[in-house]
Chains A and B, each alone.
Chain A
Amino acid sequence: MFNHVLVPVDGSDLSMSAARHGIELAKLCGAKLTSMMVSPTYRRHFEEGFVAPTVHVIRERWEEEVTGRAQAVLDKICVEAGRAGVQCNSVHVFGDAPYQAIIDTAQNKACDVVVMGSHGYGGMKQFILGSETARVLSHSKIPVVVYR
């Protein structure tokens, strides 16, 4: 029914539990899995005041750290997928519009379903649909399974 499941995560518990459901679905369908994470760019981080200007972190070093952390999360998913006998790839991108990166990746990798949580770190717990999930739902051409 589905051949290639995309699971975008941000490391939050809900996104990880959605990813686990994504693995289950992939297993059921005999599909492969791509896990992905989008990190904000250095510039955006800087503008929002997350990186203290006095800290002499060079951009490459910062990106390396972020990539390392993202990869650790993505690896965790791939290990779980492997245990379930599901073939898994991971993608990490820098971008300030996560939904766009998710939709582009879905298209580039020819995924046919997206499995994600109703909100990430940023969302209010109840009644509210996270901004990125809402945007993915609005712009995606392929079906989206939303977990909460």
Chain B
Amino acid sequence: MFKHILVPLDGSGLSLKAGRRAIDLAKREKSRLSAMMACPTYQHLADKGYPPPVLKANRKGWENDMAERARGILEQFAAEAEQSGVTCATVVVVDDPPHHAIVETARENDCDLIVMGSHGHGGVKQFILGSQTSGVLSHSKIPVLVYR
């Protein structure tokens, strides 16, 4: 039914839970997985006032750190998938906004399902659909399985 499942992670507990369910599903469907992390660009965070000014000098370094951390999380997840006998590729994208990167990655890799949590780090726990999940749901052409 599904041949290639995309799992966007942000490192939050809910995203990893959704990811583990995706592994179960992939195992059952004999489909392969791509785990991805969409990192915001430095500029985006700077606009929102996140990085302390002292970091501004080191944009490249900051983005590298971010990608490094993302790779760590993705590799750990991919190892979990491989343990269940599911092939899992990893993709790190530094782009804004994350939901756009997710939809684009799904398109580029011919994924046929996206599995994600209802909100990431940023979401209010209940009743609210995260902005990135909502963005993916609005723009994705393929089905989206939303866990909460």
A5 CB, min distance to chain B CBs, angstroms = 12
A30 CB, min distance to chain B CBs, angstroms = 10
Q: Which residues of B contact A118 (CB under 8 A)?
A: 137
B41 is an interface residue with CB less than 8 A from chain A: no
A51 is an interface residue with CB less than 8 A from chain B: no
Q: Which of B119-141 contact A (CB under 8 A)?
A: 127-129, 133-134, 137-141
Q: B140 to A148, Cβ gap below 8 A?
A: yes
Q: A146 to B146, Cβ gap below 8 A?
A: yes
Q: A129 to B28, Cβ gap below 8 A?
A: no
* Size category of the binding interface on chain B: 20 to 34
Q: Which residues of B contact A129 (CB under 8 A)?
A: 134, 137-138
Given A25-B1, A29-B28: A128 in contact with B138 (beta carbons within 8 A) = yes
The 6 A-B pairs of least Cβ separation, nearest first, read A145-B145, A147-B143, A143-B147, A144-B146, A146-B144, A138-B129
Which residue numbers of A lie inside 8 Å of B, CB to CB? 1, 21, 24-25, 28-29, 118, 127-129, 134, 137-148
12 further contact pairs, Cβ within 8 A, besides A138-B128, A138-B129, A148-B140? A1-B25, A28-B1, A29-B28, A127-B138, A134-B129, A134-B134, A140-B148, A144-B146, A145-B144, A146-B143, A147-B143, A148-B141
